[in-house]
Structure 1
Amino acid sequence: MFELSTTRRGLLRAGAVAMPALLAAPRLARAAGSITVMLESEVVVLDPHAITAAITRSFGYHVFDTLFAQDSGGTVRPQMAEGHTVSANGLEWRFTLRDGLAFHDGAPVTAEDCVASLRRWASRDSLGRMLLAAMRTMRVEDARSFSIDLKEPFPLMLEVLGKPNAPVPFIMPARILPAGDARITEIIGSGPFTFARDQWRTGDRMVLRRNARYVPRAEPADFLAGGKAVRIDELVLKTMPDDTTGVNALIAGEIDYMQYLPFDFLDLLGRNRDLRLMELKGIDMFQGNFRLNHASGPFADPAVRRVMWKLVDQKEILGAIGIPPRFRVENCPSFWMCDAPLETAAGVEVARFDVRAAKAELARTGYKGEPVVMLEVSGSISQTAGHVLAENMKQAGFVVDEQVMDWGTVLARRARPDGWSLFPVYANGVDMVSPLNHFYVANNCSDYPGRSCDARITALLADFARAPDAAARRRVAERIQRVAYELVPSVMWGQFSRPAGYRARLRNLIQSSFPLFWQVEL
């Protein structure tokens, strides 16, 4: 299914931070009405610090807020922050909150909430852990300001605090944050929508209401940055049993937006004058991956893992899914996406589809016919990708056990170190465009599903974060990819886009691979 879905190229741009535009506050249209949307899946986990699932991030961006945020050009801009200062040596940072910030329960947002939230988030995030390693102290200065003192320069400070990759550094009330790994039970943020718990019906719908206390920034909304002015009364997240039901509901006007349209319905939907299709390119496309489990089972053996490079034909998989050529890249061997700043072919020599060669190579490993347990999401395009791979694996001599389930069950199963071998998944390109945010590289040597680990990658990620310019980062990214082709944290099954569809009555809908519903009006 969808992992969670930085460009907007921002993570690659150290120091690219713009101060707020000196614009008059936009005139707010009177909030009116309700829109109903079908997202990529039901929201199962409500704690956005706890998981990397894209659906939880989408929920998070509507209910919570961040200190900094990226705009559509990749620039990191203040969001909850009024601004910041940094010492000449780059070691002392001070952040100040803007006026008017309040949580949904009416309590003001304070520096104490920010420090507590950042500490909790950082311990769970690969980039956050890098920040912690460089940090000497993080402390509250007064009600509206806090400071971070570093042991060594950390050039990507603002890109990290404003990163859109899950887990996102959302700010929450300090009082609701539990100890240890427990999840929050009160869903209280300071974002433009509030969570209506009394309207939540598992398996049916979730309702988010306009936050009357929210004070948007003065500048216009731009992707995740700017003034998040809500112009509707409520947003209904509707759960549908399958894509066909969703398409029928979209055509009938029962829903207003469908995040992922089935490819075989595109021609029909494109001819409907009441509908609009959202087509996205480049780093707003998706990257499909087979995540391998290094902790147990056949893929604990690196020699067995490396056989997989010869069993994935991206063109075959994308064709089997039914993705039209205009929505896909025929073959992309770059971990960091194609048509992207860090695109590279370093190390790809081993990735040549050849089932016969894979069979001979597998025979030379220690593989003894143990079942390869593949977790597949029923009815998803990733299930099709998994089935194509399974057939190739069987021809090469693997014993494959395809187990079909829902995405929530995959999330639970993959969290364990055993009982599974791989799962097919896809993620926003904005989440895979850099070594520092690529799920299966950035989470190297951490307690992350699959538990891949190589000390060389750990050191190179630190080098990437310290690199002084784009050229230096590109060189390090190439070195990381060479190691990744040896380690095989995942095997890419293709780069493609999935158009969203929405009713023509929706105006000013943000054009993004992220489903965003502030600014939209009827």
Structure 2
Amino acid sequence: MLKQDPGRRALLRAGAALAAGGAARPALAQRAPQEAGTLTLVLESEVVILDPYTTTAAITRTFGYHVWDTLFAMAENGEIRPQMVRSHERSPDGLLWTFTLRDGLLWHDGAPVTAADCVASLRRWMPRDPLGRMLQAVTASIEPRSAAVFTIALKEPFPLLLDVLGKPNAPVPFMLPARVLPADPGARVTEIVGSGPFAFRAAEWRAGDRMVLARNPLYVPREEPPDFLAGGKRAKVESLVLRVMPDDGTAASALSAGEVDYVQYLAFDQLQRLERARGVELMGLSGIHMFQGNFRLNHASGPFADPEVRKVLWHLVDQSSIMQAIGIPARFAKPGCNSFWMCDAPLETRAGAEPARYDVAAAREMLRRTSYRGEPVVMLEVSGSISQTAANVFAQALKEAGFTVDEQVMDWGTVLARRANKQGWSLFPVYSNGVDMVSPLNHFYIASTCADYPGWSCDARIPTLVERFAKAGTMEEKRRLADEIQVIAYELVPNLMWGQFSRPAGYRSRMKGLLRSSFPIFWEVSV
């Protein structure tokens, strides 16, 4: 949400260059979703960035879970289970871990998945992820021992090792072939070869229009039943067609008419109509599958580089008004949640949350006593999204308190490009899966404290407390540390929560076996 749309165009041009024969962009041939073995899907946005290690964008993670696989994965109950790994052993002192890959793992081009591939993938992923960096700091070596066995030797015990390897938070530690990983640490992966249940068809990718993922006939699923991101992943349809439909109304009409099979996010004002539509089902979610809305602040430049100015903002977020403006029905909303770690979640807390009290008059007086002198608050907004509505409500409160606000509207791809720069933006609204926000270890804006991560918020106390949280032996200790971290976070203001809610997905009743999850998951689906 920061700069200009040339950033997104550049990304699309780079992506299109990957497609075989990618010069022309012919019109998408009309495919009826009733065509045997094909699902036509409208996800939250277009997949623009394909390299899974270079972004925290949820759409890239969704793409990744279908194309690549992970060493371990999370089940619905939060348990981390083996995925590509057949067995693992830990030495009595906890310093040497040995992992053996399961039989039958092949890349999409037919080459075998090796321990050397996994080692190369981990080495590339670790510096790019907050938890990965934590693991890297205590790692003495990661080495392949045979074609199917590799070891991780630690400098000190790290109880969260399996949790880190199986974490669902982006960037996810997907396994990639060593040969496609660029030697340049700053370069992106451009050859998309995975070992997951679906394969990316580069020749059929039309940027701005569609992407095709084909069933991988070489994939050997685990024998266990599917369980969230763990267990057997059996691709039962021949292909997934990811259509680009930026307008919610167009997507909803296509779903109602049977032109698409699945829409990840439905506009709330369309729910009643869709509930009556023949052949359409809605999926409402709860608990960790709800979303948390946030305003991410830029601490590196602009008005919010001043911590006193940031603190004013706690008095300007009215969650109830934002939910009402978006049109979220009461049954899908949980307004008034001021816990960084989600409400109705294991670490829910109100520690330090006293400043989160809507009071424009108090904010106006606080702002008068700060260094603020009318500099524009540059707010990046995704056109037509519910986060844009949240931003509009917040912008009005900012203006009433005395801020000068510059609302800039663009698409999400442009936001991703602009937020990477430390200059030219002040905040952007976003909402994230609850799974990504329930702990200091995976909360985007807490786990990345004092790291090179868009927003650049830093309080040196937080990384130390997060490390202690990672090593905590009891839930009581984890809760105490989570409370302590939240108190500091309310002082630091890395983000502001604008609401917790569920956004239903819609799908055609011909789809059978669709897993109930805030992550769009299409293995096990048949038609």
TM-score range, shorter chain: over 0.9
Alpha-carbon separation, structure 2, partners of 1:497 and 1:437: 20
Residue in structure 2 matching 1:482, options 472, 481, 487: 487
Matches within 5 A, 1:205-244: 205-244=210-249
1:21 alignment partner in structure 2: none
Q: TM-score, normalised on structure 2?
A: 0.93
How far apart are the structure 2 equivalents of 1:326 and 1:411? Answer: 31
Separation in 2, partners of 1:350, 1:243: 35
SS in 2 for 1:401: strand
Match of 2:11 in 1: none
Q: What does 1:245-256 correspond to in 2, within 5 Å?
A: 245-256=250-261
2: CA distance, partners of 1:202 / 1:124? 26
Matched, 1:462 2:476: no
Displacement after TM superposition at 1:273 (Å): 3.5
* C-alpha separation in 2, matches of 1:33 and 1:106: 23
Q: Deviations over 1:282-335 (max 9, x none)?
A: 111000000000000000000000000000011111111000110000210000
Q: Which residue of 2 aligns with 1:124?
A: 128
Q: Answer yes or no: is the 8 Å Cα contact 2:199–2:213 preserved in 1.
A: yes
**1:14 maps to which residue?**
none
CA distance in 1, matches of 2:440, 2:376: 31
Pair 1:173-2:177 in alignment: yes
Deviation by residue 1:321-367 (Cα, 9 ceiling, x = unmatched): 00011000021000000000000000011111100000000000001
Q: Does 1:183 align with 2:156?
A: no
Q: Which residue of 2 aligns with 1:164?
A: 168
SS for the counterpart of 1:361 is helix
Q: Which amino acid aligns with 1:511?
A: R
Aligned to 1:94: 98
Give the match's secondary structure for 2:295.
strand
1:504 aligns with 2:489: no
Alignment partner, residue 416 of structure 1? 421
The letter of the residue matching 1:58 is T
Q: Whole-Å Cα distance in 1 between the matches of residues 384 and 519 of structure 2? A: 22
Quick check: 1:48–1:56 contact (8 Å CA) kept in 2?
yes
Q: Distance in 2 between matches of 1:289 and 1:479?
A: 20
Match of 1:329 among 334, 356, 363: 334
Residue 41, structure 1, aligned to residue 45, structure 2: yes
What are the ranges of 5 or more consecutive residues in structure 1 without an aligned counterpart? 2-30
Supply the AA of the counterpart residue of 1:369: G
Instruction: Give the drift of 1:243.
Output: 0.5
SS at match of 1:277: strand
1:347: which partner in 2?
352
Give the equivalent residue in structure 2 for 1:309: 314
In 2, Cα distance between the equivalents of 1:403 and 1:32? 43
Give 1:74 deviation, angstroms. 1.1
In the TM superposition, what is the alpha-carbon distance from 1:53 to its structure 2 partner?
0.2
| Cα distance in 2 between the residues matched to 1:142 and 1:330 | 53
Give, in whole Å, the separation in 1 of the partners of 2:215 and 2:288: 31
Q: Name the SS of the counterpart of 1:426 in structure 2.
A: strand
Q: Secondary structure at the match of 1:142?
A: coil
Structure 1 residue 371 corresponds to structure 2 residue 396: no
Find the aligned partners of 1:32 and 1:474 in 2 and give their Cα distance.
Answer: 50
- Conservation of the 8 A alpha-carbon contact between 2:88 and 2:98: yes
C-alpha separation in 2, matches of 1:46 and 1:498: 25
State the secondary structure of the residue aligned to 2:176. coil
Distance (whole Å) between structure 1 residues aligned to residue 245 and residue 432 of structure 2: 21
Indicate the residue corresponding to 2:15 in structure 1. Answer: none
Q: Indicate how the Cα distance of structure 1 residues 32 and 83 shifts in structure 2: closer, same or farther if over 3 A, else same.
A: farther
Distance 1:95 1:500 in 2: 38
1:495 aligns with 2:504: no
Partners of 2:294 and 2:431 within 8 A in 1: yes
8 Å Cα contact 1:199/1:207 also seen in 2 = yes
Q: Which residue of 2 aligns with 1:9?
A: none
- Asked if the contact 1:32–1:231 (Cα under 8 Å) also holds between the matched residues in 2, the reply is no
1:277 counterpart residue number? 282
Structure-2 residue corresponding to 1:51? 55
Matched pairs, number: 493
Unmatched 5+ residue regions in structure 2? Answer: 2-34
How far off its partner does 1:241 sit?
3.5
Cα RMSD for the two superposed structures: 1.0
Matches within 5 A, 1:129-144: 129-144=133-148
Separation in structure 2 between the aligned mates of residue 226 and residue 283 of structure 1, nearest angstrom: 19
- Distance in 2 (CA, whole Å) between partners of 1:298 and 1:76 is 42
Q: Conserved in 2, the CA contact under 8 Å of 1:161 and 1:169?
A: yes
SS of the equivalent of 1:123 reads: helix
Distance 2:128 2:170 in 1: 10
Supply the AA of the counterpart residue of 1:450: G
Determine if contact 1:329/1:494 at 8 Å carries over to the other structure: yes
Match of 1:298 in 2: 303
- Residue 20 of structure 2 aligns with which residue? none
Q: Which amino acid aligns with 1:202?
A: A
Q: Using the alignment, how far apart are the partners of 2:268 and 2:39 within structure 1?
A: 24
Q: What is the correspondence of 1:356-367 to structure 2 with a 5 Å cutoff?
A: 356-367=361-372
Distance 2:323 2:186 in 1: 38
1:75 Cα shift? 1.1
Cα contact 2:256–2:278 (8 A) shared by 1: no
CA contact (8 A) 2:108 2:195 kept: yes
Following the alignment from structure 1 to structure 2, what is the Cα–Cα distance between the partners of residues 458 and 62?
32
Which residue of structure 2 aligns with residue 28 of structure 1?
A: none
1:131-180 Cα offsets, whole Å, 9 max, x none, are 00111111111110111111111111111100000000000000100121
Residue aligned with 1:350, SS: coil
AA paired with 2:186?
A: D
Query: How big is the shift at 1:32?
Result: 5.0
Instruction: Tell me the percent identity.
Output: 67
Query: 1:272, CA displacement in angstroms?
Result: 2.2
Q: What is the rounded CA distance, in whole Å, between the counterparts of 2:220 and 2:93 in structure 1?
A: 35
Q: For 1:349, what is the secondary structure of its paired residue?
A: coil
Which of 84, 90, 93 is the matching residue for 2:88? 84
Q: Secondary structure at the match of 1:449?
A: coil
Deviation at 1:182, TM superposition (A): 0.8
Which amino acid in 1 is paired with 2:486? Q
Equivalents in 2 of 1:474, 1:122: separation in Å? Answer: 26
Write out per-residue CA displacement over residues 64-86 of structure 1, whole angstroms, 9 at most, x where no aligned residue.
Answer: 00000011111111100001000
